[in-house]
Amino acid sequence: MAAALVGPKEGMMARDPYEPSGSARPLSRRVFLARSAGAALAVSGAGTLLAACGKPEPSRPSAAGPQLASPEHPVTWPIAGDNQPIADGLEPERDAVLKIYNWTDYIYKKVAVDDFQKKYKKYGVKVQISSFNTMDEAIAKLRTGQVDFDLFFPTYDRLGKIIQAGLLRPLNHSYIPNIEQAWPVFKNPFYDQQWRYSVPYTIYTTGVAWRVDKVHEDVAKLANPYEALWHERYRGRVGLLDDYREAISMALLKNGITNLNTGDPKQVDVAKQDLLRLAKAVKPLVNVKDYVDLPEGRTWITQAWSGDMNNAQYYMPKGQDASVIRYWFPADGRGSVGNDLVAVLRSGKNPVLAHHFLNYMLDFDVAMENMGWNGYQPPLTKATPDQMVGDEYIPKTLATTVVLPQDFDKGFRQLELPPEADNLWNAAWQQFKAGA
């Protein structure tokens, strides 16, 4: 789950990351959780209120319970009879308003709005971006059935649910030839075999980042680099991602447990105890502003998303160079990896244009321009480490943020957890967050 962010390139000033939303450049997804959570609750509450005031009516799980996709158990989602892909060779809708529903600031407006409108000028298309801060908030809103967004950016651990709930439209591949530009694995990903419902958007790893001007040890050379986050000499300068899956996964990996979807109470407890020790030892800053806090020096060492570190270069204070930032991800690829998606919503009024948009975003030039803004790498074969570093999308000193195809073979995925396991993880996280 990458944080959604922005790199103020293109002459934009590095604005205050706290600027309230409404302006072009605010917080990453979870920072504003607080403010959005109430709204999410209200939305879901109101939705159900409208739906029925009678007995609680849970949504229908599939006969065998919800299916959980994993690399070992890839899932091919069925295509319902009443929800068929669009026909081949249709003209894009005319004078349409293409509605995109995305994480806050996770797509470059110039690319998604201005350039796309120019490209499809002939059809008079207008693009409109709406944003959400959490997946729950987004899904709650989509489930009300009161919105007609065309495109949605789900995470793969929720894909199954929204397909089962009939929110997505299956894709017609004939409109998306650019899929050939993507890594071959995404033509048959485990979470959506035959890419029936989704195309990849970005890829990322989760590792440890630090500043060489403050941390006087080569974290990458340590026997267990995760352990550096526990070092008491960095007390008050340690950052941890405010994401229960990421934080607990990191503690699991530190202890050599590579099943990041474990439902074993003993293993979760090992991670929890270690995180409680971390809280005592270093009083970590727990948020999803790694891309701001590290360059600004509020933290010296932090758990970090690769895309965020790549984005951090735009947040260095004046006169300081981004070369002080380093990022470590296990060289053998045995760390936490993930990717984000784009899908077409069934509620949208412009399915043909939506397909064109998917194809457009998979184009190398478009995707790279987008990366130059949000820091997150698209999984395209032409986007090689040499090219990305050479074209200065990624600083030389941060070449470790490059995600390689083999990382996806060896890396570990955070998959959808069965409810019991999820409760276990949540309880551990709640205990950590309560500062017990």
Partner 1 sequence: MASSTHVGGSPLPPTPPQKQGRRRRSTSGIRYPRWFWPLFAAPGMLWLALLFVLPVYVVLAIAFGTIDPLFRTPVPTWYPAWWDTTQLRVVLDNIFGPGAYLGPAFVRTFVYVACASALCLALAYPVSYFVARYAGRRKVFYLLLLIAPFWISYMMRLLAWVNLLSTDGLLDRVLVGAGLIGSPVNWLDGRPVTVVLGLTYGYVPYMALPLFAGLDRIDANLLEAARDLGASRARTFWRVTLPLSRQPILAGLVITALPMFGDYFTNDLLSGSPSTSMIGNLINDAIGTPGQAIQGAVLVVLLLVILLLPMLWYVRASNREGAR
Nearer to partner 1, 205 or 287 (CB): 287
Of the candidates 354, 240, 260, which has an alpha carbon nearest to the alpha carbon of residue 304? 240
Instruction: Indicate the residue among 93 and 243 with the shorter CB distance to partner 1.
Output: 243
CA-derived radius of gyration, the chain? 21
Residue 60 Cβ vs partner 1, minimum distance, rounded to whole Å:
7
Query: Which among 163, 168, 160, 161 has a CA at the least distance from the CA of 190?
Result: 160
H runs (alpha helix) in 333-400? 351-361, 364-374, 385-390
148 residue type, one letter: D
In this structure, are residues 305 and 245 in contact, taking their beta carbons and an 8 Å threshold?
no
Nearer to partner 1, 29 or 254 (CB): 29
Is the distance from CB of 371 to CB of 180 less than 8 angstroms? no
Q: What are phi and psi of 301, to 5 degrees?
A: -145, 135
- Contact residues for 63 (Cβ-Cβ < 8 A; gap 6+): none
Nearer to partner 1, 22 or 89 (CB): 22
181 vs 431, beta carbon nearer partner 1: 431
Q: Which is nearer to partner 1, 65 or 89 (CB)?
A: 65
Q: How far is the CB of 131 from partner 1 (least distance, A)?
A: 16
Inter-residue contact 145 to 116 (CB < 8 Å)? no
**426 burial level (CB within 10 Å; 0-12, 13-18, 19+):** middle
Rounded Cα gap, residues 232 and 194, in angstroms: 48
Q: Which residues contact 148 (CB under 8 A, 6 or more apart)?
A: 99, 347, 348, 349
Give contact residues for partner 1 (rule: CB under 8 A): 16, 18, 20, 30, 33-34, 37-38, 40-41, 44-45, 48-49, 53-61, 66, 134, 136, 139-140, 143, 161, 164-165, 235-237, 244, 279, 283-287, 296-298, 419, 422-423, 426, 429-436
Q: Which residue lies nearer to partner 1 by CB, 408 or 425? A: 425
| Helices and strands: H and E segment counts in the chain | 14, 10
CB of 242 to partner 1, least distance (A): 8
Is residue 161 a contact partner of residue 66, using CB atoms and an 8 Å limit? yes
Query: In the complex, what is the shortest distance from the CB of residue 327 to partner 1, in angstroms, rounded to a whole number?
Result: 21
Report the nearest approach of partner 1 to the CB of residue 37 (Å). 4
Least distance to partner 1, CB of residue 3, Å: 14
Q: Give residue for tokens 């970090």.
A: 304
Please report how close the Cβ of residue 59 comes to partner 1 at its closest, in angstroms.
Answer: 5
Smallest distance, partner 1 to C-beta of residue 10, A:
25
Show the tokens assigned to 306. 């690769």
How near is the Cβ of 198 to partner 1 at its closest, in Å?
18
Task: Yes or no: say if 318 and 31 are a contact pair by the CB < 8 Å rule.
Answer: no
Q: How far apart, in whole angstroms, are the C-alpha atoms of residue 280 and residue 2?
A: 27
Which lies closer to partner 1 via its Cβ, residue 24 or residue 49?
49
Least distance to partner 1 from the beta carbon of 170, Å? 20
What span, in angstroms and rounded, lies between the C-alpha atoms of 400 and 413?
Answer: 19
> DSSP class of residue 293?
H
Supply the minimum distance, in Å, between the C-beta of residue 282 and partner 1. Answer: 9
Question: Considering only CA atoms, which of 51, 32, 261 is closest in space to residue 140?
Answer: 51
Task: Give the nearer residue to partner 1 in terms of CB position, either 56 or 256.
Answer: 56
Pick 263 or 297: Cβ nearer partner 1:
297
Complex with partner 1: residue 27 or 380, whichever CB lies closer: 27
Q: Please tell me the total number of residues recorded for the chain in this structure.
A: 436
How buried is residue 294: exposed, middle or buried, by Cβ count under 10 Å (0-12/13-18/19+)?
Answer: buried
User: 413 is written with which tokens?
Assistant: 């995925």
